[in-house]
């Protein structure tokens, strides 16, 4: 009898396989877009606006054209001739590629300089003279709706104000009634700051248009190659660039975090120039451009309210949001959900009355809206519910852990329908929180805190027990620009039993080359090391919507499992033929089929695959390939219980994160080491907006922290020792019971930190501080309350 290798030996699910891709990453063998060098390639640099809002009176390119190496300067007027000066955003708004008359935010693209080297392009950029007539910008989103505020989007016919859309969900009447009668009502005004993803690699592309074959190859840093191909075809189809003539290749990506989902003007200009001059054009942003002009995240102003009883039962919540979208709504949300999944804001708690409303407005700031490890606005939702829950606990003098345990949805109540219509698939919130409390020794910490309070020392304990919603999504509700949000896997097994599998998603560092191989290994018994994973080439990969919103595991991961199972069904037929038994007489164990009751009669998957090319049953299609487009029946609902402990220096406001325990539940885990890595990175990106990061603008719309000197990205020095752990509540509808995890930590961490800091300061009457909570903010709040 052939002894099959164990799941661990073949690198199946649940094992901490070392990441296959790291061998090339750590040896400098990664191939990024800036490594693409093509014969005759030109370089592009971009002139950007110093003003937030100004009329362009004149663009003089004479001096720039004299710079040695400069071959062209492209303006909005040039693109206008080809009707390429506007493009759609992913939220069906419109956006200038290059302006013809007016600039709408500081650092906006104004003109592009094309040259034979990147240095000549930069020199040329410095020599372009633009004459502006500055206008008074709209920076404060609250003022953007004032009757006397200038209407910014004059390009939209008949537009009379700066309002973009109004969105609401929930039962207003019912919620208002509960609030009116409630024993306790708490309310806080919060701002979730505008922040920026600082991936190591900035954005960029090489547009390579081949005139002879009318074919465009677009190398670019995109998280969603297929969707981008479709968008390019929509924008440039009228000049003959139809979708079959476009190949998007997303090579290795040095971090995306959502910032590489949108379509930036730079891409479109590079394509236009390559199309016009017939040469490849490279455009790579520098760090400041990336920070100042690329898709921002968050910028939600939220009024959060909670109603409940004196003994701690949550009865209702109300959220009113003002969303500052900047110059255009360029969010990367599913079409039907302009606020993304914000409506998960009822949280992990069992109550049935809520009402949420959001107004989105235009201002003179860069566009964007969802990037930065956000799960489509779940960061904002979780911050609102977790902060207001702590506020409620503080109001009634109840321990916030006890209050949560009292209000959690019970594990036997899943699937659970939230008052905003989500069907939470599964969860065990009590187990997660109790594990986190046990890990930190919660009661001991509270005792220590009580002692310290007597001495006037500031120690705080903060909780965040959040529900995530990822895996967009079921096609009945989820699309982007009309394209349904399924995802795909195609598996080809070669005659010798080794495989290549391709996906519609695109890793930016998440480790897909390893984890997808593990799923297939587990399902088919082929060792993960013999399964090559490929993503990011639209000519070879099946159509998919890409990697963001922690959707890869819920969608493409599921597709990998289902495609593998299709192959296993075929394998069973072949095995039955080879062993001359009926299919029903066969049993599967990872790696082989054997005859029930006669285990010595068996065929390994390798033998079966070989037979599929050499000796397949008559009438059966040869070969061993399967494709699956997975349309999930529901989203997956990961959860987490985080506890943060801080010590604060009263005199300086300095905050020291003493401990941070994160217990995540992402269902069945494919690779524990990778999940832990995701959680470490995500937590660091959670502490970032909680304590450091915020894009700040003055009244004139100047960005005040447009470089890394002032925009504080936390490093290893600022990061506490993350203590991680997990509980496992498998998703009942996902083929391998997995839920996404990539964004959970960034979603869950900020309120845990904010709650800990406010908890430390609460004896002095402080009930809320907006993130990022800096030492100065703490010191100022203490000073105002007379504590120091
Ligand atoms: N995983 C697992 N078991 C699970 C769930 C996930 O082993 N139950 C593994 C997956 O196989 C995958 C990784 O964890 O290797 C993340 O999976 P998933 O949660 O499905 O998320 P995605 O792969 O779709 O990644 C997207 C997510 C997002 S939206 C942002 S933003 C983010 C994040 O991932 N950007 C990242 N993590 C990042 N990590 C790196 N290094 N770089 C980025 O740009
Ligand atoms: Cu919102 S950042 Mo991720 O979804 O790419």
Q: Is 201 a catalytic residue?
A: no
**106: its two tokens:** 């500081």
- Asked if the domains at 7-30+487-630 and 297-472+634-784 fall in one CATH topology, the answer is yes
**499: its two tokens:** 């495989």
Mean per-residue pLDDT for 138-152? 97
Question: Is any ligand 2 atom within 6 A of the Cβ of residue 578?
Answer: no
The pLDDT, as a whole number, for residue 781 is 98
Mean per-residue pLDDT for 183-203? 97
Helix (H) or strand (E) holding 532: strand 531-535
Summarised one tens digit per residue, pLDDT across range 626-651 is 999 999 999 999 999 999 999 999 99
For residue 564, pLDDT beyond 80: yes
Q: Is 743 a catalytic residue?
A: yes
Closest ligand by atom to 744 CA: 1
**DSSP states along 300-328:** EEEEEEEEE-TTS-EEEEEEEEEEE-TTS
CATH topology of domain 7-30+487-630: Aldehyde Oxidoreductase; domain 4 (3.30.365)
Mean per-residue pLDDT for 503-514? 98
Helix (H) or strand (E) holding 195: strand 184-195
C-alpha distances in Å from residue 260, one per residue of 123, 161, 296, 514: 27, 30, 11, 22
Residue with the larger pLDDT of the pair 332 and 724:
724
Q: 717 CA distance to ligand 2 centroid (A)? A: 25
For residue 1, pLDDT beyond 90: no
**755: its two tokens:** 């709650």
For residue 384, pLDDT beyond 60: yes
Closest ligand by atom to 552 CA: 1
Mean per-residue pLDDT for 398-420? 98
For residue 3, pLDDT beyond 70: no
Summarised one tens digit per residue, pLDDT across range 457-496 is 999 999 999 999 999 989 999 999 889 999 999 999 999 9
Question: Is any ligand 2 atom within 6 A of the Cβ of residue 373?
Answer: yes
**What is the CA angle 217-222-227, rounded to 5?**
75
Residues sharing a CB contact under 8 Å with residue 584, sequence separation 6 or more, in sequence order: none
Q: How far apart are CA 50 and CA 54, in angstroms?
A: 9
- The fraction of the chain above a pLDDT of 70, given in percent, is 99
The pLDDT, as a whole number, for residue 748 is 98
Mean per-residue pLDDT for 613-634? 97
Q: Residue ranges of the alpha helices (H) in 150-212?
A: 172-181
Question: Is any ligand 1 atom within 6 A of the Cβ of residue 511?
Answer: yes
What is the DSSP-derived secondary structure letter of residue 590? T
For residue 4, pLDDT beyond 90: no
Instruction: For ligand 2, pick from 196, 257, 682 the residue to mutate: most ligand atoms within 8 Å of CB.
Output: 257
CATH topology of domain 297-472+634-784: Aldehyde Oxidoreductase; domain 4 (3.30.365)
Q: What mean pLDDT is reported for the chain?
A: 97
The structural domains of the chain, with segments of one domain joined by +, span 7-30+487-630, 33-135+203-284, 297-472+634-784
**DSSP states along 359-399:** EEE--SS--EEB-SS-TTTHHHHHHHHHHHHHHHHHHHT--
For residue 770, pLDDT beyond 70: yes
Q: How far is CA 333 from the centre of its chain?
A: 10
Q: Evaluate whether 96 touches 104 at the Cβ level (below 8 Å).
A: yes
Report the nearest-CA residue for atom 25 of ligand 1.
550
For residue 386, pLDDT beyond 80: yes
The pLDDT, as a whole number, for residue 686 is 98
Q: Evaluate whether 277 touches 112 at the Cβ level (below 8 Å).
A: no
The pLDDT, as a whole number, for residue 455 is 97
In which residue are the tokens 């009822």 written?
346
> Which one of 374, 490, 693, 694 is the catalytic residue?
374
Mean per-residue pLDDT for 408-435? 98
Q: Is 358 a catalytic residue?
A: no
Q: What is the CATH number of domain 33-135+203-284?
A: 3.90.1170.50
For residue 370, pLDDT beyond 90: no
The pLDDT, as a whole number, for residue 369 is 87
Q: 636 CA distance to ligand 1 centroid (A)? A: 14
Summarised one tens digit per residue, pLDDT across range 691-718 is 999 999 999 999 999 999 999 999 999 9
> Which one of 373, 391, 404, 551 is the catalytic residue?
373
The pLDDT, as a whole number, for residue 732 is 98
- The fraction of the chain above a pLDDT of 90, given in percent, is 96
Nearest atom in ligand 2 to 550's CA:
4
Q: pLDDT tier at 236 (50, 70, 90 boundaries)? A: confident
Phi and psi at 663, nearest 5°, equal -105, 110
Mean per-residue pLDDT for 724-732? 98
The pLDDT, as a whole number, for residue 105 is 98
Q: pLDDT tier at 590 (50, 70, 90 boundaries)? A: confident
Q: pLDDT tier at 275 (50, 70, 90 boundaries)? A: very high
Mean per-residue pLDDT for 57-62? 98
The pLDDT, as a whole number, for residue 511 is 98
Question: Is any ligand 1 atom within 6 A of the Cβ of residue 745?
Answer: no
Classify each residue of 595-609 as buried b or exposed e, where b means 16 or more C-beta atoms within 10 Å of its C-beta: beeeeebbbbbbbbb
For residue 215, pLDDT beyond 60: yes
The pLDDT, as a whole number, for residue 134 is 98
The pLDDT, as a whole number, for residue 2 is 57
């Amino acid at each position: 009898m052939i002894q099959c290798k164990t799941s661990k030996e073949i690198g199946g699910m649940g094992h901490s396989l070392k990441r296959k891709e790291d061998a090339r990453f750590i040896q400098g063998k990664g191939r990024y877009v800036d490594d693409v060098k093509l014969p005759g390639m030109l370089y592009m640099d971009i002139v950007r606006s110093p003003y937030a809002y100004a009329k362009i009176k004149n663009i003089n390119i004479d001096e720039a054209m004299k710079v040695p190496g400069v071959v062209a300067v492209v303006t909005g007027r040039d693109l206008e001739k080809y009707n390429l000066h506007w493009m759609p955003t992913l939220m069906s708004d419109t956006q200038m590629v290059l302006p013809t008359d007016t600039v709408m935010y500081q650092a906006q693209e104004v003109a592009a300089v094309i040259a034979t080297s990147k240095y000549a392009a930069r020199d040329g950029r410095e020599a372009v003279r633009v004459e502006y007539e500055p206008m008074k910008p709209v920076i404060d989103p609250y003022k953007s709706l004032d009757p006397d505020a200038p209407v910014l989007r004059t390009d939209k016919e008949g537009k009379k104000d700066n309002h973009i859309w109004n969105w609401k969900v929930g039962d207003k009447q019912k919620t208002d009634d509960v609030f009116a009668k409630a024993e306790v009502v708490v309310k806080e005004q919060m701002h979730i700051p505008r922040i920026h993803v600082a991936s190591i690699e900035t954005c960029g592309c090489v547009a390579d248009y081949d005139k002879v074959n009318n074919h465009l190859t677009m190398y670019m840093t995109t998280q969603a190659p297929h969707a981008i191909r479709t968008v390019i075809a929509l924008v440039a189809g009228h000049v003959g660039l139809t979708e079959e003539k476009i190949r998007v290749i997303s090579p290795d990506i040095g971090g995306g975090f959502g910032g590489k989902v949108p379509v930036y003007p730079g891409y479109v200009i590079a394509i236009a120039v390559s199309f016009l001059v017939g040469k490849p054009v490279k455009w790579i942003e520098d760090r400041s451009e990336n920070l100042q002009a690329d898709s921002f995240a968050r910028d939600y102003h939220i009024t959060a309210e909670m109603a409940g009883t004196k003994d701690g039962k949550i009865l209702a919540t109300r959220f009113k949001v003002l969303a500052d979208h900047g110059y255009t709504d360029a969010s990367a949300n599913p079409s039907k959900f302009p606020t993304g999944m914000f409506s998960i804001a009822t949280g992990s708690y069992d109550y049935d009355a809520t009402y949420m409303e959001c107004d989105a407005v235009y201002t003179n700031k860069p566009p964007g809206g969802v990037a930065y490890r956000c799960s489509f606005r779940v960061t904002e939702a979780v911050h609102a519910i977790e902060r207001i829950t702590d506020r409620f606990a503080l109001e009634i003098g109840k321990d916030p852990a006890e209050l949560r345990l009292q209000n959690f949805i019970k594990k036997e109540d899943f699937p659970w329908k939230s008052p905003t219509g989500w069907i939470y698939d599964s969860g065990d919130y009590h187990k997660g929180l109790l594990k986190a409390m046990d890990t930190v020794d919660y009661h001991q910490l509270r005792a220590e805190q009580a002692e310290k309070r007597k001495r006037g020392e500031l120690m705080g304990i903060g909780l965040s027990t959040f529900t995530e919603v990822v895996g967009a999504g079921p096609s009945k509700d989820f699309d982007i620009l009309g394209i349904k949000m399924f995802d795909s896997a195609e598996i080809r097994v070669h005659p010798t039993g080794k495989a290549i599998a391709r996906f519609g998603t695109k890793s930016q560092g998440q480790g897909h080359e390893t984890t997808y191989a593990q799923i297939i290994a587990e399902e088919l018994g082929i060792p993960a090391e013999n399964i090559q994973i490929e993503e990011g080439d639209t000519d070879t990969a099946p159509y998919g919507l890409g990697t963001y919103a922690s959707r890869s595991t819920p969608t493409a991961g599921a597709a990998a499992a289902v495609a593998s199972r299709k192959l296993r069904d075929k394998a069973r037929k072949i095995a039955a033929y080879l062993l001359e038994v009926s299919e029903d007489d066969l049993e599967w164990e990872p790696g082989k089929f054997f005859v029930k009751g006669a285990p010595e009669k068996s065929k390994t998957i390798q033998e079966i695959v070989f037979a599929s090319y050499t000796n397949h049953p008559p009438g059966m299609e040869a070969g061993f390939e399967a494709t699956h487009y997975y349309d999930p029946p529901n989203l997956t609902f990961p959860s987490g219980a985080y506890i943060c402990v801080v010590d604060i220096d009263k005199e300086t406001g300095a905050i020291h994160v003493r401990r941070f325990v994160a217990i995540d539940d992402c269902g069945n885990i494919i690779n524990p080491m990778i999940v832990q890595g995701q959680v470490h990175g995500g937590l660091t990106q959670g502490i970032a907006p909680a304590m450091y990061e915020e894009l700040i603008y003055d009244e004139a719309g100047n960005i005040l922290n447009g470089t890394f000197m002032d925009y504080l990205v936390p490093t290893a020095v600022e990061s506490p020792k993350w203590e991680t752990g997990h509980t496992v509540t498998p998703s009942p509808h996902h083929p391998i019971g997995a839920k996404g995890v990539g964004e959970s930590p960034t979603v869950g961490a900020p309120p845990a930190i904010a709650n800990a800091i406010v908890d430390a300061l609460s004896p002095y009457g402080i009930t809320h501080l907006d993130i990022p909570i800096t030492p100065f903010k703490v010191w100022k709040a203490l000073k105002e309350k007379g504590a120091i």
